[in-house]
Amino acid sequence: MTVTDANLILGRLVPDYFPKIFGPNEDQPLDVKATQGRFEELVDEINLCVSPDKHMTIDEAAFG
C-alpha cells in the first residue's frame, strides 16, 4: 500500500479529481473498494498481534 492509499482512506483525496493513471494501460481511476479491502486485511492482521483489549481501526492504520 502507498501514501496515496492512506490518503484515499482518510478522505484527503477525491477520486473523481485524481488522474486516471492506474492499471495495465494506465487509464484506470483510484479503486476505493480495493483500497478499503486491503486496509481491512491489514487491520485484521495487526489486530491478531496486539492485545485483545486494543484494536486498531482502519483510520488508525491509515494515519500510521
Mind listing the pLDDT tens digit of every residue in the chain (64 residues)? 899 999 999 999 999 999 999 899 999 999 999 999 999 999 999 999 987 788 999 999 999 8
Query: Is the CB of residue 59 less than 8 Å from the CB of residue 12?
Result: no
Query: Is the CB of residue 56 less than 8 Å from the CB of residue 48?
Result: no
What does pTM read for this prediction?
A: 0.81
Domain boundaries, the chain: 3-63
Distance (Å, whole) CA 31 – CA 29 = 6
| Owner of C-alpha cell 495495465 | 24
Q: Is 39 exposed, middle or buried (0-12, 13-18, 19+ CB in 10 A)?
A: buried
